[in-house]
Amino acid sequence: MTFKDFWEVYEADVKPKLKYNTWCTKEYVVTKKILPYFKEKKMNDISARDVIQWQKELLQMEGRNGKMYSGTYLKTVQAESSCIFNHAVNFYELACNSSRKAGPLGCGQADEMLFWTKEEYLRCIPTIVDKPYSYYAFELLYCCGMRLG
């Protein structure tokens, strides 16, 4: 069975158990980052070396913004790959999870998100009250909660 064929089996098994948005994220990652590389390969022929080659390609890819993928995104892609292989191992007698054997990709820790506390915001506002555009921009950002991300 090819990886693409198994993806359809995996979808039938897993999709009903997941929330819609969770499935959409998983589906996007698999169809854009994993299937193009493995779709024609047979599941039991995919070796750890094949996964390592795929990982190398991912490390060279750029996102839509022209930058290399972040470590956390690469870890997410690797995790999706491992989930599919785990499912095949646990329920369809695949001998081993080649994705796990190949080792991790990316990093699990994102950079710390920095944002202003209310006290910091209240210290800043008096310094820009005489600049209406800046003042209203900061007011809007703070009051609408856009400061969190």
- Tell me: the pLDDT tens digits for 37-91? 999 999 999 999 999 999 999 999 888 888 888 888 999 999 999 999 999 999 9
SS percent in the chain: helix, strand, coil, step 5: 70, 5, 30
How many Å apart are CA 105 and CA 59, to the nearest integer?
9
Quote the pTM value: 0.72
- What's the burial of 27, exposed, middle or buried (CB within 10 Å: 0-12/13-18/19+)? middle
The Cβ-side half-sphere exposure at 149, using a 13 Å CA radius, reads 1
Write down the architecture of domain 3-102 according to CATH.
Orthogonal Bundle (1.10)
- Per-residue pLDDT tens for 91-129? 999 999 999 999 988 766 656 667 778 888 888 889 998
For residue 23, the Cα-to-chain-centroid distance in whole angstroms is 12
- Per-residue pLDDT tens for 137-149? 888 888 877 654 4
For residue 25, the Cα-to-chain-centroid distance in whole angstroms is 8
- What's the burial of 117, exposed, middle or buried (CB within 10 Å: 0-12/13-18/19+)? exposed
- What's the burial of 96, exposed, middle or buried (CB within 10 Å: 0-12/13-18/19+)? middle
Kindly list the domain boundaries of the chain, sorted by start residue.
Answer: 3-102, 118-148
How many Å apart are CA 3 and CA 117, to the nearest integer?
48
